[in-house]
Amino acid sequence: MSPFPSSAPHTDDWCHLRLTTDDGVATVTLARPEKLNALTFGAYADLRDLLAELSRERSVRALVLAGEGRGFCSGGDVDDIIGATLAMDTAQLLDFNRMTGQVVRALRETPFPVIAAVHGVAAGAGAVLALAADFRIADPSARFAFLFTKVGLSGGDMGAAYLLPRVVGLGHATRLLMLGEPVRAPEAERIGLISELTDEGQADVRAAALARRLADGPALALAQTKALLTAELDMPLAAAVEMDAATQALLMHGEDYAEFHAAFTEKRPPKWQGR
């Protein structure tokens, strides 16, 4: 995303989620615990705009996405979204569905790593938000469910049919998206849906520790790694290798590359600047 600002001012307050920052680490918390953090139209829009704003400002080097209370996110609010969409015309429905997809694109295109801290339910859109993160840290209570066919819609919602086969393989993705059955933490770890299985109640702690490790690392190198992982998913090998070569040539002119050599020579840890 472009770092160049527009006339829009910085947003100090987000009405539909909670944002905290600590020395380059942002934590975005879905905060409707009484509804298992079910998403509303406003929550989708806030996520879309917040991720774009953080990407432009470049002050964040890692982001944790978490849920308050008993679970991560139960998906779209049945009353606020499903009930409301029944009264929408096709143009309105297309606008809504494009907005949900824009949130997933924003998660994939941020120039910093995103870590989902999952406990309890991650269902429907909540499962896709976790899927779109770069890392999924989950405790034993976590259960993922891609419920779209359960409500009579395609399982390929919000990019799920694109992302899930690339994370767990086509066979597992077909089963999860068609049947909509819950996947509990042990199976999610077995099929590669989660990056780390923690002790009970430790997902937030471990996600924060990983975010700090990433934020203290070479930010530009990590941003380019994330960009290449996304861009090269559909590239032939020749194009991917050429893109890798061009990226490395650019980074070899960077300050961090020179800093590594200086630190190695002086036998000290590198002081990464993200440049």
**Confidence check: pLDDT of 32 > 70:** yes
CA distance 103 to 85: 18
CA distance 227 to 238: 17
Average pLDDT over residues 6-17: 85
Going by pLDDT thresholds of 50, 70 and 90, the confidence category of residue 12 is confident
CA distance 265 to 205: 35
CA distance 71 to 156: 23
CA distance 81 to 160: 19
Q: CATH number for the 17-216 domain, one of 3.40.309.10, 3.90.226.10, 3.40.120.10, 3.40.50.300?
A: 3.90.226.10
For residue 8, what is the DSSP state? Answer: P
Average pLDDT over residues 173-196: 97
CA distance 216 to 210: 10
Q: Give span(s): CATH 3.90.226.10, the chain.
A: 17-216
**Confidence check: pLDDT of 3 > 90:** no
For residue 111, what is the DSSP state? Answer: S
- Give the global pTM: 0.94
CA distance 261 to 217: 15
CA distance 228 to 239: 11
pLDDT at 163: 97
pLDDT at 235: 94
Buried b (16+ CB within 10 A) or exposed e, 235-265: eeeeeeeeeeeebeeeeeebebbebbeeeee
Burial of 112 (0-12, 13-18, 19+ CB in 10 A): buried
Sheet holding 183-184, edge to edge: 121-123, 143-145, 183-184
Going by pLDDT thresholds of 50, 70 and 90, the confidence category of residue 11 is confident
Average pLDDT over residues 223-227: 96
